[in-house]
Structure 1
Amino acid sequence: MPEEKNYEKERKLPFVSIIISTYNRAHYIKITIDSFLNQCYPPDLYEIIICDNNSTDHTKQVIEEYKNSKDGTRIRYLFEKRQGMHFARNYAAKKSCGDLLYFADDDVIADRNLLSELVKVFEDKRVGCASGKILPKWECVPPKWVEKYCNNSLLSLNDLGDATKISRNDLGVWGCHEAVRRDVFFEAGGFHLDLVGNGPGIGDGETGMNDDIKHLGYRLAYVGTSITYHMIPARRMTQTYLNKRYEYNGNSHSYSEYRKKPFTKKELPKRIYVYIKEFILKEISMIERWRRGKISLRFLLAEFYYYTARIRYDIQIAFNERFRKLVEYSDWL
């Protein structure tokens, strides 16, 4: 498409740092890297940083294989021994060179036009961060209930159509497909506490950072022509994964709420009472929705994991001083 290439030459394109945090995904990471090496974006205007978050598999060997290839100089390997996705992403951001910092997960496949389409929205100086369309790449045929009810944030998917949208509110900007202006990223303080190893997340990660960006006065954007594919393995199409995801959401919401409005030990019984009441009312409502064919019964069990996670998290905040300080801590950079 010659017209597109000429147009790109006329524009002053930003240098982009693609940052991929990885943990024990040696079997996926090469697919992800190759998709970013294949971008329709000037090769001298982006770098790929792989931040190994203390992997115990052969991730490092996979990255080293690129050193002797023609693309070896475009890939940088970093090692972050502090366990936690927030540590890896923030550390890599500090070591990056980009005007734009683009964050991806280690299990995505980027469309060739991902970068060239995504950078356009940053011509609007109001935009602080942006994402795009995140579609599933099913590794096997998904169960009907997964395809019907989980084709959304539960699997970090997002499809708001092909148009570009700019808003004061979060449009589903997930860290597996997110670009942030460099100065905005550091002004906002980077990613919040997030996933640690393979356990459920214990913070609000990119959601918290996006909220900080919004409060700085910037807009959030969605670019429907910037597409990535999220690889969904069979283990994510199970009740076990759904429960874990709801547990993560419970932890994340308790984390966010406490940081906005701290509570005391005396208030804990009231909070637990509210959670139990909410849980019962929600279960009754969900049974009605199930009767009308609007939801799967699987989500009744998942809600139990959500509310028990909230209760456990609040108890830890109230009685575990070390944990409470972790939640209150803000300088993750």
Structure 2
Amino acid sequence: MTEQATNAEGTTAVAAAATVPFVSVIVPVYNDPEGLRTTLDTLIDQTYPEEHYEILVVDNRSNDGTRAVAQEYAEAYERVTALDERRRQSSYAARTRALHCATGDVMAFIDADMTVDPDWLERVVETMDEEEIDYLACNVKLYSVGEESLAAKFNRLSGFPIEDYVSEFHYAPTCCLAVRREVVEDVGPFDVRFTSSGDREFGHRVYRAGWTLGYAADVHMYHPTRTTLKALVKKSIRIGRGKNQLRRIYPERYGSSARLIFNPAIYVPATPGQVRAALRNWDDLPLSEKLLFYALTYLLKLTNAYGAVRDAIEHRG
């Protein structure tokens, strides 16, 4: 945790400011009651002034005890609101539902099962104000719980190069995004038709509209790793679907779906250099793990391609 500047009474820098922005923290969730508890506990325990932020939990058709957890926190804490998105099962639909209800000057997004430091909101607001940033990506730290499986280690070493996403591809994953209200009013909310890549499409609208994008390397958010091969494959297929959705929904911006699924490059293995560049601490890995992670990289590339082809087939014509 980073030490905050204080005045003589010990008031934090944000609280001492003449105008404290109101922040809407948006948490989409699906079938994850314990992950939601973990996230809400860290959001309740923020140093940001209580009267200057709200927490909007949006349940996206959960069929377990998740909705009850959201309602429990809403009854216990005035700043927590429990919402439902029942019409469309999509994390972007859930986030857009919250945006329509949010009253904040800043919208901060976090996924259920993630955690943050107590000064997270303060750091977000200070960074956006001091650096005049309209669309901010925080630094996501992946961590493993208990004994680390090989799948979890691969996920930890390969996941979330946020700075590259912002600087090279002009978007931030929604799990670590904060954006000013004026930006959403200008470019519109997320496109609810996406199951993946909706964050990329939204970020591209923001970038083209001329708003300032930024990355805060020292503002951390914490995300547990995926621990099984099945979980990694499921995510890879979803990302592949999203890549085709970009082209299917916005061919004038991203090119035709055919150019993606008939491109041989999405089916061939990555080069050793590409795998080495994608995995942190590659040189420290034993040879057996290097070979295994190289094979896993190719498997995930193929499942990514499968997701794209599957989406194209399901929506042909």
TM range (shorter): 0.7 to 0.9
1:134 and 2:140 matched: yes
Which residue in the other structure is 2:51 paired with? 44
- Give, in whole Å, the separation in 2 of the partners of 1:307 and 1:298: 14
Per-residue deviation, residues 203-262 of structure 1 (Å, max 9, x unmatched): 412111111111111122111232221133xxx222222222222222122222341255
Structure 2 gaps, min length 5: 277-286
Structure 1 gaps, min length 5: 196-200, 320-333
Q: 1:249 to 1:130 in 2, by over 3 A?
A: same
Which residue in the other structure is 1:328 paired with? none
Alpha-carbon offset, residue 170 of structure 1: 4.6
CA contact (8 A) 2:171 2:199 kept: no
* Pick aligned residue for 1:122 from 123, 128, 141: 128
Which residue in the other structure is 2:181 paired with? 182
Secondary structure of the residue aligned to 1:55 is coil
- Give, in whole Å, the separation in 1 of the partners of 2:116 and 2:69: 19
Per-residue deviation, residues 83-131 of structure 1 (Å, max 9, x unmatched): 2111111011111110001111111111111110111232268522112
- Give, in whole Å, the separation in 1 of the partners of 2:199 and 2:62: 22
Larger deviation: 89-98 or 290-299?
290-299
- Give, in whole Å, the separation in 2 of the partners of 1:86 and 1:273: 28
Secondary structure of the residue aligned to 1:176 is helix
- Give, in whole Å, the separation in 1 of the partners of 2:69 and 2:172: 29
Which residue in the other structure is 2:280 paired with? none
Alpha-carbon offset, residue 73 of structure 1: 1.0
Alpha-carbon offset, residue 23 of structure 1: 1.1
- Give, in whole Å, the separation in 2 of the partners of 1:2 and 1:227: 15
CA contact (8 A) 1:104 1:176 kept: yes
**What aligned pairs does 1:294-305 form with structure 2 within 5 A after superposition?**
295-305=293-303
Larger deviation: 243-252 or 28-37?
243-252
Alpha-carbon offset, residue 296 of structure 1: 2.5
Q: 1:61 to 1:145 in 2, by over 3 A?
A: closer
> Superposition RMSD on alpha carbons, in Å?
3.2
Secondary structure of the residue aligned to 1:230 is strand
Structure 1 counterpart of 2:56, one-letter code: I
Which residue in the other structure is 2:213 paired with? 220
**What aligned pairs does 1:293-332 form with structure 2 within 5 A after superposition?**
293=290, 295-319=293-317
Alpha-carbon offset, residue 54 of structure 1: 1.8
- Give, in whole Å, the separation in 2 of the partners of 1:243 and 1:56: 23
CA contact (8 A) 1:117 1:223 kept: no
**What aligned pairs does 1:98-247 form with structure 2 within 5 A after superposition?**
98-123=104-129, 127-144=133-150, 146-147=152-153, 149-151=154-156, 154=159, 157-158=160-161, 169-170=168-169, 173-193=172-192, 201=195, 203-232=196-225, 236-247=226-237
- Give, in whole Å, the separation in 2 of the partners of 1:194 and 1:142: 35
Residue correspondences, number: 294
- Give, in whole Å, the separation in 2 of the partners of 1:132 and 1:35: 16
Structure 2 counterpart of 1:10, one-letter code: A
Structure 2 counterpart of 1:283, one-letter code: P
Q: 1:272 to 1:158 in 2, by over 3 A?
A: closer
Q: 1:172 to 1:139 in 2, by over 3 A?
A: farther
Secondary structure of the residue aligned to 1:297 is helix
Which residue in the other structure is 1:330 paired with? none
CA contact (8 A) 2:151 2:232 kept: no
1:285 and 2:284 matched: no
CA contact (8 A) 2:162 2:172 kept: no
Secondary structure of the residue aligned to 1:313 is helix
CA contact (8 A) 1:169 1:220 kept: no
Structure 1 counterpart of 2:212, one-letter code: R
Per-residue deviation, residues 300-327 of structure 1 (Å, max 9, x unmatched): 22222122222232334433xxxxxxxx
Which residue in the other structure is 2:282 paired with? none
- Give, in whole Å, the separation in 2 of the partners of 1:213 and 1:67: 32
1:16 and 2:16 matched: no
- Give, in whole Å, the separation in 1 of the partners of 2:131 and 2:186: 15
